[in-house]
Structure 1
Amino acid sequence: MFLLIVRKDSAPECLSTPSCPIPNTVVPIRTSVCVVLTALLAGIASAKAQDADLTSGGNVDLPEISVTANLVETPLSQVGSAVTIITGEEIREQQIKFVSEALRQVPGVAVNRTGPVGQFTQVRIRGSEGNQTKVFIDGVEVNDPAAGSEFDFAQLLADDIERIEVLRGPQSALYGSDAVGGVINIIIRRGEGQVRTAARVEGGAFGTIDGNASVSGGTDRYRFIASASGFQTEGISAASTRLGNTEKDSYSNATVFAKGGYSLTDTLDLSAVVRYTANRTDLDSEMFYPKYGHTGPVDSLQDVKGEQFFTRAQARLVLLDGHWEQIAGFAYTDQNRAYRDLDPRMVTSSYDGERSRLDYQSNLFFTTPSLLDASHTLTFAVERDEDRAISKSIWSSFDETIGTTGFVGQYQARFFKDLSITGSVRHDDNDVFKDATTYRATAAYVIAPSGTKLRGSYGTGVKNPTLFELYGFTNNYRGNPDLKPEAAEGWDAGFDQPLFGWGTLDFTYFNQRITDLITGSGQTSINLPGTSKIDGVELGVSVTPMANLTVRASYTYTDGEDANGDTLVRRPKNIASLDVNYVFLDNKAQLNIGVDYNGEQKDWVYNADYSERYTINLKDYTLVNIAGSYKINDNLQFYGRLENILDQKYYEVWGYGTLGFGGYAGVRLTF
């Protein structure tokens, strides 16, 4: 269940625009007097302060908000969980084209792509597996029931993103199965103000061309945005040229989306969003390399064609002068993939994952000034999920459905403006597995003189076996219907420290344990006896040491072992990033330098008949990118970037090729 809550400290656009109820709505940090007035009317400040702001005509700074951590909009100063926010502005500064590239800069996050652009891309949080991260786009859960209940980030372009929130640690108490490592919430911008049309086109290395066009606008009563993006590249060989492979593997992506809303009255708001992506990716197959004594990729005439369809509609009713809110919504996703041999042309296997969700959430806001000077939020939610996976192949086929009904309760309170606590519990009634109850508690305390925020959290998680793990069948895999859900618990502690008004520093220690971990064994999957242990530290810093210069950096150390004491694969112990952005020439020009470091890690390889697997080491690598832009006027901007300027040769997954040095240039128009 994932809903944006209109509460008494929401910005005014939330109360008047239907897209705001979708949980991925952005609350601007600077807003107009009418925004402040609406928030004040909900009880954030006194009536006297309301009058002063109404007549002043000035702008007011509002605290940065998280819409992911507590199911309701919460100022970051009151959030006890570890959460990182990437803004759309930061993404555009670096000219990032895929969301997965932006996530490489988040503490605690590891990204692995099986080859060049367009190939299968996994994201892991705090050492958890890729399918232990729950992903939302505009309030729609997009984990694919037919792809191991995992979201493939290969298809997610970064155009029109407003912000990304990464919530770390077990979150099943709020979000149910799959949220063992954390939650990634991708928020697309909404329409507002005068009708605005924007377009861009660029081209560059590896036969790449991509572009985007959008139109948006809105008033106090309605808002809308529609956008279309395209990306195409000749690419390089998915199987590494270092293994003797030379055939280029191309990739194409076409994405369209629209969202909007209408406020029928001051208390009733309707909104909807729809997103569609069609893609095609050339693939290479696996073979046994006698030279290396294990499997690896090799050139082949294969590809995969896929489609993704995501939609959500919801209604929001606000009663009791904003103190009681009710939200009801329906979401549906359909993701399908067809794998083909191209000589002769035939479909060898296809997978179709469908998910439907019906949810309701009720939020009650009240204060007790005479009792601990406290504000309170009570939340109750219920949701019904139906997950369906359809698999057809030359080996076998299956069509299976699992339904789950979840009940969520949460209490959130703030005392004396310094101490904030939350407690949540969830009970999942599952049609196949044993019912599960999960819980979570957080606390945050702000030391007023220094602005230091101390925070900590503890939570439990659950990860149900995927439909493919239960019923899947291929030439080298057999499903195991006796699998049990994985169970997890984790805690973290840390602080966020303002740095003399010109930056912030955050530090977190985390500790997670997973039992009944599902892992491959021979040609099937089993629950690994014992407990897998993961712990580490996360460090982030953002500073503005001088006007127009911003420096952001992050570092993560992760130590993860399964119950046998073996190092977890594709989880490097050390990950670091650096981003430096400088604006000059009267804000017309911009220069950005980005550095991503990925430490040594292990990966799986198999013997000739896939009956055994073992690990090998992958070397560390450093990627350096430079991006720049120049604005001719308010309507025209030229930009360009150089990627992997060190021309690093590396593996993210053993044997799969990665892009070398490349340059790109483009133009952006706005009307």
Structure 2
Amino acid sequence: MFDYLKKKKPIPVRLASGSFLAIIIAMSVLADDTTQLMPEIVVSASRTPLPSMEIGSAVTVITADELEKRQVRIVSDVLRDVPGIAVNRTGPVGSQTQIRIRGAEANQTLVLIDGIEVNNPASGSEFNFANILNAGIARIEVLRGPQSAIYGSDAIGGVVNIITKDPEPGFTLSTRGEFGSFSTKDGQVDMGYGSDKFTISGTVERYITHGISVADEKNGNTEKDGYDNTTGRLKISVKPIENLEIKAVGMIVDSDLDSDASAAVVNTIDGEDSSQSLQRYGLTSAKLTLADGAWDQQVKMSYMDDKTNYLNGAGATTYTSEGKRITYGYQSDYYFSTPGFANADHTATFAVERDEEEQYTNSGFSGPNTVNIVNYGYSTEYRVSLWENLFLSGALRYDDNDDLFDNQITYRGTAAYLFDETATRFHSSFGRAVKNPTLFELFGSTPGFTGNPNLKPEEGFGWDAGVEQAFLEDKLILDVTYFNNRIENLIQGSGNTAVNLASTSRIQGMEFTASTEPFENIRFDASYTYTNGKDAIGTALVRRPKHIASLIGNYSFDVMERPANLNLSLQYNGKQSDIVYDSYFPVATRTVDLDSYTLVNLAASYEFAEGAEVYMRGENLLNEDYQEVYGYGSPGISFFAGLHIKFGPF
């Protein structure tokens, strides 16, 4: 009964272009008969969790096991392997980091951490990935395509959902310490206790590096710009009675970053500027299950606060920016079956939420200023599975926005069909999404800018269709997906304010993925993305490379009857364009091309005793000299080593 689709693990999508794919196919031919890709439940693709085989949208799942085998410390680094995602960082670790999904803008991607919306209202409603370490992360889900019908504003390109770990049964304690290039030191402590009625887990990670120059060293900049980050997470779950679960999660990130200055025409040069950031996130929720498991009711309240002080070389604060969001929500899910009609299973969901955003700024020009906005969202979703082969969903959302701009209706539909005879899965989705004007665009005030309260929301319509095929008795899984997006009413600066452009950006492309486990202890994942994005006059959209690919190989084996692991990753980022804008001389603004680059990383680990592991890794082993944003440097070849010790569970 279509073993692959009934048992598969959704491909934590990686890379495949011609030669990569040939390697995977060749290895699969040698596969033994015991390897199976295992099943996976996906949390973010719908209002309720569901098996990957039922999902019509394109989604990627990255697990904690993958993060550890690759020894990824910065979350944005692993997102480079996800099809459809372009990553741009303005310099070394800790610098401003953007991601773009399927050609959409960086602030058109919604980011969740344990269900908390963390896009910063005071920073263009964008999430800066610079400060997210992998501390305590259980999985990362990337949902591509318009998702506003499920999640509201900011989800034109898609959604990144970061989920932290729940503790194992009993008491556990683990600690990790490493050091490496650029005087980098990283330490982490995890503690947890789990039982049927109560669980608690906490993580603290401290990351310090002297770094490299933010301004590219090849332009004569030699000053090192350091970065330090302290991240703490706490997660609690209580079940006072069998059908009631109460949860609370909290997270704090305290970071400091040295940066460089901008100069006329030259762009970025050495300087003594710096910034101090404090991010705080929290959520409490309760879930009550009634009618013998047929009816779930959930309430939640989430909070985010993201504050940054920008300092000059003398240590004086020149600008303060703080964004806050408080969200209240209620959701009702009802499950029922009609075995006499198409052997169908149904899920009906209704949800309502209140979202308040606040922006605080303080500068020498405008002084302190606080503005806020309140929106209400009402959404419904219906899912049905028919004959265990056809899976359909439809979602509709109405957003009652502040009087400043129009209310919005968004929608999404998905379909997946399993064709048992040929081990094929067809999947497709379509939807309309919106991005509300940001508080700065509505109310901002600088020496050269005044907000425009007459702005309209940005609008996106997109669809995709693909086919997933199993070969060689489910040992090789290939997927190809075509996507097409249209984005209208883009908000851009014009003169001394912001306006909606009367134009449409058109983006289309292809995503190819492959995954195989030719032997029990060997796995290859590959992906390749082609993206063709242009504005209304046919100019290529900046920071969207046409070609992105990656290949990951993992080999687990024993040394002296103790487990060891090798992980090799290759990441290719094709040529892309960027805009060089000079605030001193606007006429000097120009478009430049940034060269392609390939990153090669190798990680190795060995568990020399029960619960004790030594590891090391090399990054950018080809010592590529590249820029992801014009004028900003990137780290060269580097090496790291560390020790991880785990106690328990007891």
In structure 2, the residue matched to 1:367 is 337
CA contact (8 A) 1:84 1:167 kept: yes
Count of residues in correspondence between the two structures:
610
The share of aligned pairs that are identical, in percent, is 44
Match of 1:595 in 2: 570
Shift in Å, 1:565:
1.6
Q: Structure 1 residues 449-458 or 274-283, which shifts more? A: 449-458
CA distance in 2, matches of 1:120, 1:221: 41
Alignment partner of 1:668 out of 624, 638, 644: 644
Structure-1 residue corresponding to 2:311: 340
The equivalences for 1:65-144 within 5 A come to: 65-144=41-120
Match of 2:432 in 1: 460
Letter of the aligned partner of 2:551 in structure 1? L
Question: Is structure 2 residue 337 aligned with structure 1 residue 382?
Answer: no
Matched, 1:605 2:577: no
> Cα distance 1:132–1:338, how it changes in 2: closer, same or farther (>3 A)?
same
Matches within 5 A, 1:420-569: 420-431=391-402, 432-499=404-471, 500-569=473-542
Deviates more, 1:497-506 or 1:629-638: 497-506
Q: Distance in 2 between matches of 1:325 and 1:589?
A: 43
In the other structure, the counterpart of 2:32 is none
Segment drifting more, 241-250 vs 513-522: 513-522
Tell me the equivalent position of 1:42. none
Letter in 1 for 2:584: D
Distance in 1 between residues matched to 2:346 and 2:439, nearest whole Å? 40
Larger RCO of the pair (alpha carbons < 8 Å, separation 6+): 2
Judge conservation of contact 2:562–2:609 (CA < 8 Å) in 1. Answer: no
- 1:614: how far off? 2.7
Alignment-mate amino acid for residue 581 of structure 1: N
- SS at the partner of 1:178? coil
In the alignment, the residues of structure 1 paired with residue 623 and residue 115 of structure 2 have an alpha-carbon distance, to the nearest angstrom, of 38
3-state SS in 2 of match to 1:154: helix
Q: What SS does structure 2 have at the residue aligned with 1:314?
A: strand
Choose from 183, 189, 193 the match for 1:207: 183
- Does the 8 Å CA contact 2:475/2:516 hold for their aligned counterparts? yes
- Structure 2 residue aligned with 1:630: 606
Aligned partner of 1:308 in structure 2 is 279
Distance 1:503 1:61 in 2: 9
1:225 maps to 201
Cα deviations by residue, 1:625-657 (Å, 9 ceiling, x for unpaired):
111011112221100001111110010000101
How far off is 1:478 after superposition? 3.6
List per-residue Cα deviations over 1:266-306 (Å, max 9, x = no partner): 111111000001000001111123xxxxx511111110000
Residue pair 1:528, 1:563 contacting (<8 A) in 2 also: no
Q: Partners of 1:105 and 1:63 in 2: how far apart?
A: 21
Deviations 1:152-185 (A, max 9, x none): 0000001221111100000001111100000000
Matches of 2:267 and 2:374, distance apart in 1: 38
Of 393, 400, 411, which residue of structure 1 is paired with 2:363? 393
Equivalent pair of 1:191/1:260 in contact (CA under 8 Å): no
Partner of 2:316, secondary structure, is: strand
Deviation of 1:142 (Å) = 0.5
Alpha-carbon distance in 1 for matches of 2:272, 2:283: 38
Letter in 2 for 1:479: G
CA contact (8 A) 1:326 1:363 kept: yes
Residue 244 of structure 1 and its aligned partner are, at CA, apart by: 1.2
TM-score by length of structure 2 reads 0.92
Whole-angstrom distance in 2 between the partners of 1:319 and 1:313: 20
Q: Is the 8 A contact 2:562 2:608 kept in 1?
A: no
- In the TM superposition, residue 372 of structure 1 has moved relative to its aligned partner by 1.3
Q: Relative to structure 1, is the Cα distance of residues 553 and 28 closer, same or farther in structure 2, using a 3 angstrom cutoff?
A: closer
The CA deviation at 1:525 is: 2.8
The answer to whether the 8 A contact 2:138-2:165 is kept is yes
- Deviation digits for residues 386-442 of structure 1 (CA, Å, limit 9, x no counterpart): 000001111214211011100001110000000000000000001121100000111
Query: Is the contact made by 2:488 and 2:504 (CA closer than 8 Å) also made in structure 1?
Result: yes
Contact 1:398 1:471 in 2 (8 A): no
Q: CA deviation at 1:451?
A: 2.5
- Local SS of the residue matching 1:300: coil
Deviation at 1:483, TM superposition (A): 2.1
Instruction: Tell me how far 1:449 sits from its aligned partner.
Output: 2.1
1:207, 1:234 within 8 Å by CA — same for their partners in 2? yes
Pairing 1:170-319 to 2, within 5 Å after superposition: 170-289=146-265, 295-319=266-290
- Aligned residue for 1:217, secondary structure, equals strand
User: 2:85 touches 2:99 (CA, 8 Å); kept in 1?
Assistant: yes
- State the distance in 1 between where 2:449 and 2:424 align: 52
SS in structure 2 of the partner of residue 588 of structure 1:
strand
Q: Distance in 2 between the 1:458 and 1:650 partners? A: 36
Decide which of 161, 166, 189 is 2:142's aligned counterpart.
Answer: 166
C-alpha separation in 2, matches of 1:608 and 1:131 = 22
The separation in 1 between residues aligned to 2:482 and 2:383, in whole angstroms, is: 23
Q: Which amino acid aligns with 2:604?
A: G
Q: CA deviation at 1:61?
A: 10
- Answer whether contact 1:503 1:543 (CA < 8 A) is retained: yes
2:524 partner letter = V
Give the Cα separation in 1 of the matches to 2:209 and 2:452: 39
- Residues 119/505 of structure 1: CA separation in 2 closer, same or farther (3 Å cut): same
Distance 1:137 1:184 in 2: 9
Distance 1:603 1:531, change over 3 A: same
Q: Equivalents in 2 of 1:498, 1:194: separation in Å?
A: 39
TM-aligned CA deviation for residue 546 of structure 1: 2.1
Q: In structure 2, how many angstroms separate the alpha carbons of the residues matched to 1:600 and 1:210?
A: 33
The 1:62–1:549 alpha-carbon spacing in structure 2 relative to 1, beyond 3 Å, is: closer
- Verify: 1:147 aligned to 2:123, yes or no: yes
- Helix, strand or coil for the counterpart of 1:206? coil
How far did 1:479 drift? 2.8
Equivalent-residue separation in structure 1 for 2:517 and 2:546 (angstroms): 29
Q: Given that residues 507 and 532 in structure 2 are in contact (C-alpha distance below 8 angstroms), is that contact kept between their aligned partners in structure 1? A: yes
User: Aligned partners of 2:492 and 2:499: how far apart in 1?
Assistant: 6
Q: What amino acid is the match of 2:627? A: Y
Using the TM superposition, give the Cα deviation of residue 492 of structure 1 relative to its aligned residue in structure 2, in angstroms. Answer: 0.2
- In the aligned structure 1, how far is the partner of 2:69 from the partner of 2:93? 20
Residue identity matched to 1:455: H
Closer/same/farther in 2, CA of residues 187 and 441 from structure 1, 3 Å limit:
same
> Retained in 2: the 8 A contact 1:522–1:611?
no
C-alpha RMSD over aligned residues: 1.7
Q: How does 1:40-59 map to 2 (within 5 A)?
A: none
The structural deviation recorded for 1:476 is 4.3
Read off the aligned partner of 2:641 and give its amino acid letter: A
Once residues 573 and 523 of structure 1 are traced to their aligned partners in structure 2, the CA distance between those partners, rounded to angstroms, is: 32
